[in-house]
């Protein structure tokens, strides 16, 4: 193979990778918007008091408005980054992508978030009260607790549904890319 042919093949591979990344990002944005919309609707309807953007943003600032905006951006960026993990899991997991694989992955993601991430959050979050000590001068936000039940009895169902939508959108979208 001549140098010109090798460079041509390399350029084609670079374009393929760039298009794959672009496709992943497009589906990541769609899935993150769908999940975030469902979470906001559930708050508006009174189904849950879980405000993930506020929880994320208040890790960095005590200003509630700034925390909500920063948290929204962090949540959005996190949703896009996690989509790459989904893509690699689908690509190398053996079963491939599809709406059903995405649904299962989304439910698993939601369960891990509810049972591991949110309960541990009060131990590392500077403004979140703990389950045992309660609120104080600096720690004023209510902790989510196990399954985020402190934010309402429907919260686990809302969170699982939102993650299921996220995973389903990614699975179906990534099926078109693979």
**Res 28: pLDDT:** 97
Beta bridge partners of 130: 134
How far, in Å, are 24, 146, 175, 178 from residue 95 at the CA level? Answer: 18, 31, 11, 12
Each residue of 20-70: pLDDT tens digit? 889 999 999 999 999 999 999 999 999 999 999 999 999 998 898 999 999
- Domain parsing of the chain, residue ranges: 3-177
Name every residue whose Cβ is closer than 8 Å to that of residue 9 and which is 6 or more positions away in sequence.
Answer: 1
**Res 139: pLDDT:** 58
36 within 8 A of 78, measured Cβ to Cβ:
no
Examine the pLDDT at 148 and tell me if it is beyond 80: yes
54 within 8 A of 67, measured Cβ to Cβ:
yes
Report the alpha-carbon distance of residue 163 to residue 127 in Å, rounded: 25
Report the alpha-carbon distance of residue 165 to residue 64 in Å, rounded: 28
Q: Which of 108, 96, 110, 104 is nearest to 173 (CA)?
A: 96
pLDDT band at 97 (very low <50, low <70, confident <90, very high): confident
Examine the pLDDT at 172 and tell me if it is beyond 90: yes
Q: Which of 21, 171, 30 is nearest to 95 (CA)?
A: 171
Residue spans of alpha helices (H) in 113-154: 118-124
59 within 8 A of 75, measured Cβ to Cβ:
no
């Amino acid at each position: 193979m001549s140098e010109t042919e090798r460079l041509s093949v390399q350029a084609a591979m670079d374009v393929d990778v760039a298009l794959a990344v672009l496709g992943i990002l497009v589906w990541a944005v769609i899935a993150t918007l769908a999940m975030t919309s469902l979470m906001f609707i559930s708050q508006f309807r009174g189904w849950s008091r879980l405000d993930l953007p506020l929880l994320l943003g208040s890790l960095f600032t005590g200003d509630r408005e700034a925390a909500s905006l920063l948290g929204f951006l962090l949540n959005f960026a996190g949703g896009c980054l996690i989509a790459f993990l989904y893509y690699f899991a689908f690509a190398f997991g053996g079963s491939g992508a599809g709406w059903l694989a995405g649904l299962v992955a989304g439910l698993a993601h939601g369960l891990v978030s509810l049972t591991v991430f949110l309960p541990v959050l009060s131990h590392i979050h500077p403004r979140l009260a703990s389950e045992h000590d309660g609120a104080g001068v600096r720690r004023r936000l209510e902790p989510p607790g196990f399954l985020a039940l402190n934010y309402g009895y429907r919260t686990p169902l809302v969170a699982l549904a939102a993650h299921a939508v996220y995973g389903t959108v990614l699975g179906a979208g990534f099926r078109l890319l693979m």
